[in-house]
Chain A
Amino acid sequence: EPEVTQTPSHQVTQMGQEVILHCVPISNHLYFYWYRQILGQKVEFLVSFYNNEISEKSEIFDDQFSVERPDGSNFTLKIRSTKLEDSAMYFCASSRVTAQETQYFGPGTRLLVL
């Protein structure tokens, strides 16, 4: 069964450094998403992406964040200058045709900012 994959599984970085989180969505899916989950808290929407542009973003997704689909398979989340409070699990998800259907989540990247 096709699945969303994410790399790396864990990332440790120093405050102020840039990180790029990688995702490979399911191949015939058109909608892509990033979510984060701070330890012990709920899953929070960051951004949705369709047709090579951001379709919606949350207030969390400020100028420090950016997303890109550099080729036909990868979908990346970049945090330009990490802060301690960016430490969280970051989940990528994809859905086939709309946002109002099953979203398939990847296993997540645990980001720790020191």
Chain B
Amino acid sequence: GESVGLHLPTLSVQEGDNSIINCAYSNSASDYFIWYKQESGKGPQFIIDIRSNMDKRQGQRVTVLLNKTVKHLSLQIAATQPGDSAVYFCAENDGGFKTIFGAGTRLFVKA
């Protein structure tokens, strides 16, 4: 698809399994973190966010974990479905007006 990279890290999971997508962020001053999902040919879609005063936040079938000590963010998707197949980006914001996106991970869900 148009928005899917040729050399992205790829995670392939079986339908129904849990998926974990990891992200390392660079700016220790970042205090707001977001996960976006991007399907082929579409714009990024907000999934879940977390602020730096939390280390875990849960949504519907998704959980974000934040480890500020090692500057690591993860997205857990429970009971992964074929519709979850997409590229997932983490993004960070340090309180300003600029949001910086990570490189992205492509998730393949096998039926």
Contact = CB atoms under 8 A, between A and B. Distances in A.
Given A40-B5, A40-B6, A56 B46 contact: no
Contact of B97 (A31, A35, A105): A31
Interface string A26-59: 0000010101010111111100101000011010
Interface residues of B, number: 32
A100 B5 contact: no
Interface residues of A, number: 31
A22 interface: no
Interface of A: 4, 31, 33, 35, 37, 39-45, 48, 50, 55-56, 58, 89, 91, 93, 99-108, 110
Interface of B: 2-8, 31-32, 34, 36, 38, 42-46, 49, 51, 89, 91, 93, 95-104
